Chains A and B, each alone.
Chain A
Amino acid sequence: MSSSFRLSIPCRNKMKKGNGLGQGIGIAFRLGTELVVATMIGALIGYAVDHYLGTKPWGILVGLIFGGAAGCLTVYRTAMTLKFDEEDNNGDLTPKGEDS
């Protein structure tokens, strides 16, 4: 099994390079939901706190803010790993020495 695998290793690089559009779309899909879902989870936790502790408007407000923050943080992290990936590979997309 592994011997036949080794033969076509160039395939992987080809797929990685040719998959630029697919990867871009994939990241777009990822980031969009990440923001929404994190905000929703924050609001949900806030709502649950409100429901059980009777702190009517405050739980959901704080939850929304924290949720939004968590969403932004996740998106930021994903974007950062992305940037590093590009620099690792070839640096074609981001001109070098622009911001570092």
Chain B
Amino acid sequence: MKESPLHHFELHPIGQLSLMGFDISLNKAIFVMWAGLAVVLGLFLLIRKTGVRLVPGKMQSMAEMLLLFLRGLVDDFIGREERKFFPFVAALFFFILSCNMIGLIPGSYTITSQLVVTGTFAIFIFIMTLFIGFGRHGLHFFGILLPAGIPKILIPLMIPIEIISMLARPFSLAVRLFANMTAGHTVLAVLFGMSLSLPWFIGFLPFGFTVLINVLELMVAFIQAYIFTTLTCFYLGDVIKMH
């Protein structure tokens, strides 16, 4: 029995559904995405239900720590007076984190290993930064393409470079999350395949490695969610402050 290590990234629709000619069949990824939303919502509802106490319990102090950390990011990168972005940033972080974590449960699916999902996040953020930039600064927003204090001779050289580095932002956001999640899960699949196809006295070695890689993947899941939110804050702050 040979199976491609990329096999588990494939998606097959469960049943057929269509709405006004559009194919809206459900598949595993959509259910996992809903599960991710449900986990975030459920955890926070649970924390609220047990009561926000002055002396926080385990769950509450964990949530407080993460939220304070995210608020620190917003304060540092966007600015203290721009706290209205905090709910967006926090929602993004917790959604990506829960999706990454759910993907590590054997048999489930990692939606962040699909370029469509991460690309949608990234393009949405990119368009949002453009809207905010033009809304705040009007036509002065084009000034973001000119770094402060460069010699006039370099202007024709700098503008294409700045345009490229601007356009690279959503791509690097999307590709980073997608590539890291896909790579980690492919490595896991390859190791599992090895441990299944080898005789047991060697096969336990790759199996042991899968445990280690799983721990690493837990860390990567957290770090990738962290990087995604940090960069979102950074890009938002960049268009608001304009260098």
Contact = CB atoms under 8 A, between A and B. Distances in A.
A1 B69 CA distance: 16
Interface residues of B, number: 33
Contact of A37 (B68, B171, B180): B171
Nearest to B224: A29
Contacts, number: 91
Q: Is the interface of A mostly helix, strand, loop or mixed?
A: helix
B161 interface: yes
Contact of B52 (A1, A11, A16): A1
B118 to A, nearest CB: 12
Contact of A41 (B72, B168, B226, B231): B168
Interface in A30-80: 30, 33-34, 36-38, 40-42, 45, 66-67, 69-71, 73-74
Interface of B: 52-54, 56, 60-61, 64-65, 67-69, 72, 160-162, 164-165, 167-168, 171-172, 175-176, 179-180, 219, 222-224, 226-227, 230-231
Interface of A: 1, 3-5, 7-9, 11-12, 15-16, 22, 25-26, 29-30, 33-34, 36-38, 40-42, 45, 66-67, 69-71, 73-74
